[in-house]
A and B are shown apart, each in its own frame.
Chain A
Amino acid sequence: MKILVIGLDCAAPEILLGDERLTHIRRLMEIGCYGRLESVIPPITVPAWMCLTTSQDPGSLGVYGFRNRSDYSYDGLTIVNAKAIQELAIWDQLAREGKKSILIGVPPSYPPRKVNGLCVGCFMTPNPATVTFTHPPELQAEIGRLLGDYPVDVKGFRTNDKAWLKEQIFAMSRKQFQLVKHLLQTREWDYFHFVDIGLDRVQHGFWQYHDPQHVLYEPGNPYQSVVSDYYLHLDQQVGEILELLTDETIVLVVSDHGAQRLDGGFCVNEWLVREGLLVLNEYPTAVTPFNQLDINWEKTKAWSEGGYYARIFLNVKDREPNGVVDQADYEPFRDELKARLEATVDERGQPLGTLVFKPEEIYRTVRNIAPDLIVHFGGLYWRSIGGVGYGAIHTRENDTGPDGCNHAQYGGFILAAINLPLQAEIRGLRLLDIAPTLLELAGYDVPGSMQGKSLIAGLALDALPASGLTAAEEEILRERLSGLGYIA
């Protein structure tokens, strides 16, 4: 069996599985199984897609987000690239068995992965006009002939020019789907994986216009339907792709994480300052990014990186250059800090419901330099703001530009194949379960490095349709002719 993965970055299961207008998606749900899909911590595009394709958790990959600490200095984080993740992925297992893969926009895929087949770079490609973003490189010229400029992302998607943004995202997605359909039809493949990044961009840009519970939502606003229109667009594209398949294909529509409204920003370093854990030589007069703050490291016990979630780092003696937390105090202090973070409240003093994780407790192994704590403020209804100078803990602003939604812990999936023995809503499936499920369903070996559990483990696969006329087919044939009158 061939495997087709249609990745919808950030697709919210509430919409993907709940909007009855998505007729092609509905049909897949009808013939297969579907449900919410628990993402990894943190539920972020990088590393989530690689967790899905390698069935390894972020700690085992040693990748805790787009940006990671490369050493224990205070010099900030470095951006991950495709080379940082070399663990055995689905396509590697297929290559071992001599099979071909096509990857389009599976993050991170810059520089393009040298797979047995084709790879087209993801949104992390610096500038598709000036760099090589395909493997093999010749593919790039073919894409140029077919589509002209190939957009890998909408640069500057955190903008207030919503009309422009909407047009850019739809145009990008249409071009990418055109490439998908072109390669589906013109190339041999055994594994095909595309990730539409446009959905993530649309939701970050337009969720506040879509969700009545969003603090910025205004009824009747002109962008009210942009998010759901984009899902309709995706459904239409999925429908066109399905037309191109054969029965011997496993189809997975899947998201790496979900989406949910953003209630506000929690200024985590501001909070650490107030708690006396982050000490500044001078409190800034204006909002200032963390890396431009004048920090007194000798007195600082913890600091944080912002983003969709917070990464808290402790300033540990003999680990960081100016560490102050004794190794012996590390665990008690971390526990105390965890408890204090979990007790954070909103502007009105109500508990935020903040989730705090210790890496070694949630990952099978912890490679490279993990944050000391990972924090989901308000269960990710709150973004983490790294800058200081707001004069408050809570803000409706975002330090990196307007944003309407945050990621949610649960994405969604729909899996359909003629040999799939499950036709139902599935509960409890996790992102890491996807790769072993696909490999087992398609009849490949599942590498021992994969941590998830196959959804179909222990189940007998449905038989592929037999050739020849079965009694049931005969009856159908007879009934189709029945009522004619002229025949017995």
Chain B
Amino acid sequence: MKPALTFLLIFCSFFAYSQSVLPTYESGKVAFIEVVKTDSLGKELLYENAGKWLQANNFQIQVSAEDSIAGKWVARQSFPVYARGYVSKKIHGKINYTLTVAVKENRYKYEFSNFTFDYYKENRNYEMVPTGKHKALEETKASGWQSLWEQHQKTTQRTVNTMIGSLKTAMIDIPKPKTETVLSKKSASQDW
């Protein structure tokens, strides 16, 4: 009984990592969406924190004047995904996505969406360069490279979850009030 249970545990540990589950929205597209409540944080502070975080994380900000008035940031970014190479990894492609952060009084909503995989290929200098070809991340099939495709989906899930954690931390940051330093002409030995 115990050996059978042991074997089952080992089997499950592999099986758990062979399935990729990316969250999808109503349209069937991959999206990570959440409304986060933040007590006592105003719209302006949330908007400013979101902007600072986007810039610090090298997002390409695409906000329009209307978005700004509405308290919304729209930005794009990409991250590489790798194929296993011998000794070191080789870029297989890049995952592009859009991040929208909309703020209101005491709450904000983030939306990671429009995920696409950009195909890369090797050029004559053995550099990996984009081909201009794309694949939507919600596609489940990748004939001929299924395991690699599932690995990229898992990488996307991990990467976005990390970004979400970082964003949430940054959004609740309250700037510390500035303290004035008063220079005294009295001697150092005087009781302050």
Partners in one complex: no
Give B residues with C-beta under 8 Å from A: none
